[in-house]
């Protein structure tokens, strides 16, 4: 079968791969919608995971089941399914501890385009189908359904880890598709003021539609200074980081109030350490929590988040700026994500077989 893969550092292309093997609990799907991700870009062009050779890319998509293992109970051939980017081993001790995304070791639930072949192929494998898939709700647009793999669950996880409360002031640093979902997540959890940091006009517009009350450009001076000016020197209750780099933590810790939380969902593709400022962190006694996490996966979560779309709590269609057709568009949507033209938020390709 054909697969679009990372051939080595900085190199991608089409290769031939074997049809995946379906274990008793597993399913094999054909992709019917696929999206590229900034994480694919970190993997290929920033060496973020280390060298990978002939690893099929892609972890965001919707599938149609073509094969199920003999122990799969709830899905059958022909079902159209939501697939989470993170597909944990649900019987693991890590899952029993509430952190399924780290089953098999830290970040071990992140299998696609990391420790196994991803979805950018004619067929892809799903482990533990009953636990890691959910049916695509009747009538849901396939591009929107693809946003349930990673964008919506990751952005919302940023708001969850920040433990956003009614009336909280929240600064969301970075409003690409992930940060935009964090803006919406913070809004839905009852944030009062939401300051969104970014510059691309499309993203700024969608941030406002999702509930941002203020926009900050990181290009017009330090974010910290701007947040302090806007809050009369108080800072914010919560910061969600969905853009920037290892240095962004310095500003985030400085601008969060004592007792506040800095919640990171950004994939730190380079640098050895993040910067936590000694004074800004209350010389070690400021009760400022710094937390970072990989999105949780799982069928229950997919179904719950899909219900939020169905009931118009969140509209991920606003993220999709570029729609293409067919498997052959994969290279284009990956390069769009790398080059980030000014009008891009998220590209998808819809595949008819």
268 by DSSP, 3-state: which? coil
Nearer to Zn ion, 26 or 150 (CB): 150
- Smallest gap from residue 151 Cβ to ligand NDP (A): 7
227: which DSSP letter? Answer: H
Residue 258 beta carbon to Zn ion: minimum distance, rounded to whole angstroms? 34
- Regarding 113 and contact with Zn ion (CB under 5 A), the answer is no
**Residue written as tokens 């149609």?**
64
d(CA 255, CA 273): 20
Longest dimension (CA), the chain: 62
Nearest-angstrom CA–CA distance, 39 and 242: 12
| Closest CB 284 distance from ligand NDP, rounded Å | 26
**Residue 96 or 317 having the CB closest to Zn ion:** 317
Q: How many CB atoms lie within 10 A of CB 168?
A: 21
Count, residues near Zn ion per rule CB under 5 A: 4
Binding positions for ligand NDP, rule: CB under 6 A: 37-39, 42, 150, 154, 173-179, 197-200, 203, 218, 242-244, 248, 265-267, 294-295, 340
Q: How far, CA to CA in Å, does 277 sit from each of 159, 170, 250, 271, 273? A: 23, 20, 6, 16, 12
Q: Is 47 left (phi over 0), alpha (psi -120 to 50) or beta?
A: left
For 125, phi and psi rounded to 5 degrees?
-100, 140
Choose the binding region for Zn ion from 35-43, 197-205, 244-252, 289-297 (rule: CB under 5 A): 35-43
Written as six digits, the tokens of 155 are: 């952005």
Closest approach, Cβ 74 to ligand NDP, in A, equals 26
Q: Report the residue number, 43 or 226, with the smaller CB distance to Zn ion.
A: 43
Q: Is 33 in the site for Zn ion (CB under 5 A)?
A: no
| Residue closer to ligand NDP (CB basis): 32 or 344 | 344
Strand partners, 62: 33, 82
43 binds Zn ion (CB under 5 A): no
Computed on alpha carbons and rounded to an integer, the radius of gyration of the chain in Å comes to 20
Nearest distance in Å: CB 122, ligand NDP: 24
Rank residues 130 and 251 by Cβ distance to ligand NDP and give the closer one. 251
Q: Which residues between 145 and 184 bind Zn ion (CB under 5 A)?
A: 150
Using the minimum distance from each CB to Zn ion, give the nearer residue, 170 or 265: 265
Q: Which is nearer to ligand NDP, 239 or 350 (CB)?
A: 239
Cα-to-chain-centroid distance, residue 305: 13
Asked if 122 and 327 touch (Cβ cutoff 8 Å), the reply is: yes
Instruction: Candidates 12, 36, 39, 43: give the one binding Zn ion (CB under 5 A).
Output: 39
Residues 206-245 close enough to bind Zn ion by CB under 5 A: none
Rule CB under 5 A: say whether 130 interacts with Zn ion: no
- Least distance between Zn ion and beta carbon 177 (Å): 9
CA 168, CA 236: separation in Å to the nearest integer? 8
**Chain residues in the site for Zn ion (CB under 5 A):** 37, 39, 60, 150
């Amino acid at each position: 079968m054909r697969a679009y893969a990372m051939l080595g550092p900085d190199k991608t292309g089409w290769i031939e791969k074997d049809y995946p093997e379906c274990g008793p609990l597993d399913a094999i799907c054909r992709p019917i919608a696929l999206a590229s991700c900034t994480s694919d870009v970190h993997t290929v062009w920033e060496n973020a995971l280390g060298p990978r050779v002939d690893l099929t890319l892609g972890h965001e998509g919707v599938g149609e089941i073509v094969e199920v293992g003999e122990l799969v109970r709830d899905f059958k051939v022909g079902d159209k399914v939501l697939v989470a980017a993170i597909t944990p081993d649900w019987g693991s001790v890590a899952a029993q501890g509430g952190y399924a995304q780290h089953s098999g070791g830290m970040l071990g639930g992140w299998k696609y385009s990391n420790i196994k072949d991803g979805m950018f192929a004619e067929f892809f494998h799903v482990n533990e189908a009953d636990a890691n898939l959910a049916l695509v709700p009747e009538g849901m647009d396939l591009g929107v359904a693809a946003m349930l793999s990673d964008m919506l669950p990751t952005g919302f996880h940023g708001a969850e880890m920040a433990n956003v409360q009614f009336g909280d002031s929240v600064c969301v640093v970075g409003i690409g598709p992930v940060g935009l979902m964090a803006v919406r997540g913070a809004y839905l959890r009852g944030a009062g003021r939401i300051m969104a940091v970014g510059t691309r006009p499309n993203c700024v517009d969608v941030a406002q539609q999702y509930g941002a009350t203020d926009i900050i450009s990181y290009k017009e001076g330090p974010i910290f200074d701007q947040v302090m000016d806007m809050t009369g020197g108080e800072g914010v209750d919560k910061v969600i980081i969905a853009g920037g780099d290892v240095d962004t933590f310095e500003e985030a810790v400085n601008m969060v109030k004592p007792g506040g939380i800095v919640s990171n969902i950004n994939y730190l593709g380079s640098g050895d350490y993040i910067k936590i400022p000694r004074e800004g962190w209350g010389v070690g006694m400021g009760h400022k929590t710094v937390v970072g996490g990989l999105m949780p996966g799982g069928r229950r979560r997919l179904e719950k988040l899909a219900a939020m779309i169905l009931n118009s709590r969140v509209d991920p269609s606003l993220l999709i700026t570029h729609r293409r057709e067919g498997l052959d568009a994969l290279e284009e949507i990956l390069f769009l994500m790398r080059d980030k033209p000014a009008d891009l938020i998220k590209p998808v390709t819809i595949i008819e077989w």
